[in-house]
Amino acid sequence: MLRSHYSSEIGEKDYEKNITIAGWVEDIRNLGGIAFAVLRDKYGRMQITAIKKNDEQLFKKFVSLTRESVIMAEGKCQKNEKVINGWELLLDKMEILSMAAAPLPMGVVDKVNVDFDTRLDNRVIDLRKDENKAIFEIRDAFIKYASEYLEKKGFLNVHTPKITAMSSEGGTEVFKINYFGKIAYLVQSPQLYKQMLMATGFDRVYEIAWYFRAEEHDTTRHLNESTAVDIEMAFIDSEKDVMKIAEEMTDYAVERILDENSKQLDLLHVSPDMPSLPYKRIRYDEVVEILQKEMDFKWGDDIGTDEENLLSKNVDEKIYFIVDFPLEAKPFYAMPRGKYARAFDLEFNGMEISSGAQRIHDYKMLLKRMEELEINTKNFEEYLNAFRYGMPPHGGFGYGIERFLMRFLNLKNIRECILFPRDRKRLVP
Ligand code: ATP
Ligand code: MG
């Protein structure tokens, strides 16, 4: 490797020893006879000091560095209580690995506010900022701990197709693609496939999945390409078994993040105080009562953004389930309970982060439901076949990763939570 140490690895044991560090030149100051640079690596920053009279050639090369150039620097690690970390590298040898063009399209350390589009246009530079990196470290932790919980509970990690001939399963618009001359679609969720897997005997599956949705949203909570934790589980008694997994997975991941990621949480100024389990349940009928006090809302209406905001103002808890939705508010595969669906949404500070349900497993009932909703069963033949030769009762949920992070980290825009966001206007970088 090009470095002997990361900034974070150096301590008193290394003083007076020769070390090699590597990273980005965040800042450089030339005082004439002496010059200082701040070098940034994955874990932190360190000072490099160059002295002109020691090596004029080297000094010249050092002070010619542009900000954000990538270098490898070798020298003695010297104690200096006045600088960051309490030590500096006294420069002896340097290799310029990549000289950065100047001026930079945006700064990394400047306090000047750049607009969000400029940040996204220059995302690789934007991601050099500590607070932006921290989001993705927490994202990684969330996925790791959610998976850890699901693995403990016997879920099998699977990957289902993202290109399919089966058209939209719900009201969502899908991206149409040309598949060797045939029409195909990018999946809007793994819904149909994870249900099909319930007919195999795997019993419990999870997928860290891509969703592609061709909706022309222009909101701070919708992406056209997003990721989710999807689960499906068989032999459930009701949707309550699925809700238990959703809340326990959230609680487990949050607790582990609080234990392991305090550095990132501090950087982002978040101290999430989550309620203990079980999370509150609010029936759709109660939601109607609450909303009708302050807005026009009919039983059967969809709970949209305005409704979610108003509801959260009237509920003390920051995270809660809405349960017992009207059947017509949920997709065809949701299991009915009279005029209700055995379905739930998980709301986090007034925004849906997950939807789930017990599904219909009975072939005839499924056909009947699709006919009632005038869905062309021809488009779903392979899906329906999975229900003909032995399908156990089952249910599951889709849980938006960016949605969770946005709420957990109090971020204003969902685009902060995905590396290279895709929205109606943005297809690059
Ligand atoms: P909403 O009504 O909030 O647009 P939805 O009900 O259409 O969401 P579902 O089909 O229930 O979404 O998808 C399951 C989960 O996936 C959602 O609860 C959400 O967390 C996430 N999700 C869905 N669509 C998007 C999107 N366009 N951008 C980001 N996350 C999404
Ligand atoms: Mg939903």
In the predicted structure, residue 110 carries a pLDDT above the cut 90 = no
Query: Is the residue at 427 inside a domain?
Result: no
Query: Is the residue at 36 inside a domain?
Result: yes
Are both 282 and 373 inside the same structural domain?
yes
- Closest ligand 1 atom to 401 CA: 20
Catalytic option among 137, 352, 422, 426: 352
- Find out whether 166 and 382 touch, Cβ atoms under 8 Å: yes
Q: Whose CA is nearest to atom 21 of ligand 1?
A: 400
Q: Ligand 1: residues whose CB is within 6 Å? A: 189, 211, 213, 222-223, 226, 228, 352-355, 398, 400, 402-403, 414
In the predicted structure, residue 169 carries a pLDDT above the cut 80 = no
In the predicted structure, residue 379 carries a pLDDT above the cut 80 = yes
Query: Is the residue at 28 inside a domain?
Result: yes
Are both 268 and 334 inside the same structural domain?
yes
Query: Is the residue at 244 inside a domain?
Result: yes
Mean pLDDT of 190-214: 97
Are both 383 and 305 inside the same structural domain?
yes
pLDDT given at position 111: 75
Domain count, the chain: 2
Q: Whose CA is nearest to atom 14 of ligand 1?
A: 398
Are both 169 and 80 inside the same structural domain?
no
Query: Is the residue at 424 inside a domain?
Result: no
Identify whether 255 is a catalytic site residue: no
Ligand 2 center to residue 192 CA distance, Å? 15
Mean pLDDT of 380-407: 97
State the residue range of the domain holding 377: 124-417
CA angle (194 as vertex; 189, 195 as ends), nearest 5: 110
pLDDT given at position 310: 97
Are both 305 and 351 inside the same structural domain?
yes
Q: What is the CATH number of the domain that holds 46?
A: 2.40.50.140
Are both 138 and 90 inside the same structural domain?
no
- Find out whether 120 and 96 touch, Cβ atoms under 8 Å: no
Are both 15 and 151 inside the same structural domain?
no
Distances (CA, A) of 369 to 303, 321, 327, 331: 22, 25, 11, 10
Mean pLDDT of 77-101: 97
Query: Is the residue at 423 inside a domain?
Result: no
Are both 133 and 279 inside the same structural domain?
yes
Domain end, chosen from 98, 113, 142, is at 98
Domain end, chosen from 63, 98, 133, is at 98
Query: Is the residue at 176 inside a domain?
Result: yes
Indicate the helix (H) or strand (E) that contains 267: helix 262-267
Q: Whose CA is nearest to atom 11 of ligand 1?
A: 355
Residue with tokens 């995302």: 123
Ligand 2 center to residue 19 CA distance, Å? 54
What is the pLDDT confidence band of residue 217, given thresholds at 50, 70 and 90?
confident
Domain end, chosen from 98, 114, 133, is at 98
Are both 53 and 133 inside the same structural domain?
no
pLDDT given at position 112: 76
Listed in order, strand segments (DSSP E) in 54-167 are: 70-79, 87-98, 156-157, 163-164
- Find out whether 50 and 35 touch, Cβ atoms under 8 Å: yes
Q: Which residues contact 161 (CB under 8 A, 6 or more apart)?
A: 187, 193
In the predicted structure, residue 113 carries a pLDDT above the cut 90 = no
Q: Which ligand is nearest to the CA of 400?
A: 1
Are both 68 and 163 inside the same structural domain?
no
Rg (CA), the chain: 27
Are both 376 and 326 inside the same structural domain?
yes
Are both 21 and 81 inside the same structural domain?
yes
Identify whether 352 is a catalytic site residue: yes
Read off the pTM. Answer: 0.97
Query: Is the residue at 118 inside a domain?
Result: no
